Amino acid sequence: MSEPPAGAALRRWAREQARLKASVIEEDTEEWQKDPSFAGLERVGGVDLSYVKGDDTKACASLVVLSYPDLEVLYEDCQMVAVTAPYVAGFLAFREVPFLVEAVQRLQQKELRLKPQIRSLQMEGDAFPLTGTSGKVLGMVLRSCNNSSKPLYISVGHRVCLETAVHLVKSCCRYRIPEPIRQADIRSREYIRKQLCSPLEVVSSGPKRREKETEPDD
């Protein structure tokens, strides 16, 4: 198990998180966002980290690029990584994102033409707003498919407004989980299975957010 970070590291993470939050543009800026059917959007991407069961330092970082609106996989990148940063609630990005950034950089070097126009984070369906004490809408809760009893929680993206984010996530859902993230998760688990020659020893999405291997995604 990795040791919890010192107070100075947590304060540094908090400052960096606040800096990034302040730079987020909560409005649509791309031409394809102006069309209700997202005409002009051709590629979407998803990322995931899956961990070796019983070891929260060994993981597979996965990036996939899918066609839109068909949601067919065009590209995948899976690599085993050594995770050294500890898990801290609210700061998961500092543990996992560096490996995902490296995957995006590899894509840019190898297949720049397949660079996704939008990466899954995560006005139809059953959705309602999440509001703060000030009354500001912080995100939306979405029931992504009729058979799902577990909602998705969606926020704005950088240069993607909340309404567009909700509409886009809904359009990317064949099951409960948006297909780009679902495919990244499936492929990262399978990569670990092949590396370990074991059918079971895989968990997903970080040591505090893991779901059982057998849990359905719808």
Check whether residue 71 and residue 146 sit in a common domain. no
Whether omega for the bond prior to residue 69 falls within 30 degrees of 0, making it cis, is yes
Q: What is the CATH number of the domain that holds 60?
A: 3.30.2170.10
Count: domains in the chain: 2
Residue 129 near residue 146 (C-beta atoms within 8 A): no
Pull the structure tokens for residue 129: 């707003």
DSSP state of 188: H
- Return the pLDDT at 196: 84
Higher pLDDT, 196 or 52: 52
Lowest mean pLDDT among 2-6, 73-77, 127-131, 211-215: 211-215
CB 48 within 8 A of CB 39: no
Enter the pTM of the model: 0.82
Let me know whether 106 and 131 are in one domain: no
Shared domain for 193 and 88, answered yes or no, is yes
pLDDT at 46 over 50: yes
Within 42-175, residue ranges assigned H as helices are 92-110, 162-171
Residues 6 or more apart in contact with residue 33 via CB below 8 angstroms? 160, 161, 164
Q: What is the pLDDT of residue 215?
A: 44
Please indicate, yes or no, if residue 55 is contained in any of the structural domains: yes
Domain hosting 140: range is 21-35+122-177
Closest CA to 166 of 140, 138, 130: 140
